């Protein structure tokens, strides 16, 4: 049968996919939790579920396509932002169906896409975690603090417009200073970032532990006397089962604001 992914491309699977290779950590977790045993291969960065023991096929940006093909998957999962179009096209040219998820801009968009992938693409029942996550993240709280959210340094990269992580924070009442920027991931100079705090446009520095591993002494030292909060990058940027625990953990992290 022919399905269509988030980008409108054909996904010509033959029956229900039983061998799935995921090139996206969040999708790996979502599928393995919802349909245990379907994941046959995953990237080196697919760290959840922690019990997952499958063949590893390199990184998301640079997967070992030959090793993916060697696993003879019924379906490969990719993301429009995390994976390169040339790798997707090579897999398709070799007859492998590939489902590309559009990079989600909001929590509801991510959950709607996951529901379609799981129930239509993999033909599994709607998982309880998805229903719970929808309920937890449905409402948006009034803004209580304005934050800058770096995701990398050398160079500094921050969350900008239309990002999943930005929407996660917004729903918890944490405004993103760069939400109106023309880029999804702006690269402001450190002097510009510091000036936002000095001028009162930003109140808080939010530092996740992935993709860059910010710590107590790696990140905050660049912003003397600026309040900061360290958060789980998985809770901030992964869409899937982790969203259930993320709501409680992130809410607690900002409880003082």
Give the per-residue pLDDT at 69. Answer: 98
C-alpha 39/C-alpha 42 separation (Å) is: 7
Please tell me whether the overall predicted TM-score, pTM, comes out greater than 0.85 for this model: yes
State CA 181 to chain mean position distance: 20
pLDDT band per the 50, 70, 90 thresholds, residue 1? low
Quick: pLDDT tens for 122-171.
999 999 999 999 999 999 999 999 999 999 999 999 999 999 999 999 99
Give the per-residue pLDDT at 2. Answer: 75
pLDDT band per the 50, 70, 90 thresholds, residue 256? confident
What does the angle CA 160 – CA 190 – CA 184 come to, to the nearest 5 degrees?
15
Quick: pLDDT tens for 69-116.
999 999 999 999 999 999 999 999 999 999 999 999 999 999 999 999
Measured CA distances, 52 to 11, 63, 148, 171 (Å): 26, 18, 34, 31
pLDDT band per the 50, 70, 90 thresholds, residue 29? very high
The CATH class of the 140-253 domain is alpha beta
Taking a C-beta distance cutoff of 8 angstroms, is the pair 223, 217 a contact?
no
For tokens 């996550």, name the residue: 133
Give the per-residue pLDDT at 135. Answer: 97
CATH fold label, 2-135: Rossmann fold (3.40.50)
Taking a C-beta distance cutoff of 8 angstroms, is the pair 77, 21 a contact?
yes
Quick: pLDDT tens for 31-78.
999 999 999 999 999 999 999 999 999 998 999 999 999 999 999 999
| pLDDT > 70 fraction of the chain, expressed in percent and rounded | 100
For the segment 200-223, the average pLDDT, to the nearest whole number, is 97
Quick: pLDDT tens for 236-251.
999 999 999 999 999 9
**Token digits of residue 115:** 């529901």
Quick: pLDDT tens for 160-200.
999 999 999 999 999 999 999 999 999 999 999 999 999 99
CA atoms within 13 A on the CB side of 36: 5
CATH 3.40.50.1980 domain position(s) in the chain: 2-135, 140-253
């Amino acid at each position: 049968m022919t399905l269509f992914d988030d980008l409108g491309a054909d996904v010509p699977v033959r029956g229900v996919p039983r061998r799935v290779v995921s090139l996206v950590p969040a999708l790996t977790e979502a599928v393995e939790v919802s349909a245990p045993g379907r994941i046959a291969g995953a990237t080196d960065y697919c760290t959840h579920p922690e019990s997952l023991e499958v063949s590893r096929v390199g990184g998301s940006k640079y997967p070992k396509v030959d090793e993916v093909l060697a696993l003879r998957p019924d379906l490969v999962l990719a993301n429009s932002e995390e994976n390169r179009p040339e790798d997707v096209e090579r897999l398709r040219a070799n007859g492998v169906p590939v489902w590309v998820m559009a990079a989600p801009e909001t929590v509801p968009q991510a959950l709607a896409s996951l529901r379609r992938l799981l129930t239509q693409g993999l033909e599994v029942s709607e998982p309880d975690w998805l229903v719970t996550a929808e309920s937890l993240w449905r409402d948006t709280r009034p803004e209580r603090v304005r934050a800058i959210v770096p995701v990398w340094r050398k160079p500094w990269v921050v969350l900008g417009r239309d990002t999943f992580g930005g929407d996660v924070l917004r729903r918890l009442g944490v405004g993103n200073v760069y939400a109106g920027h023309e880029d999804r991931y702006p690269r402001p100079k450190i002097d510009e970032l510091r000036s936002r705090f000095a001028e009162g446009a930003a109140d808080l520095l939010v530092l996740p532990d992935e993709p860059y591993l910010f710590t107590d002494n790696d990140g905050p030292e660049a912003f003397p006397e600026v309040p900061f909060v360290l958060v789980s990058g998985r809770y901030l940027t992964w869409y899937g089962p982790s969203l259930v625990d993320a709501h409680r953990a992130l809410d607690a992290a900002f409880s003082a604001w």
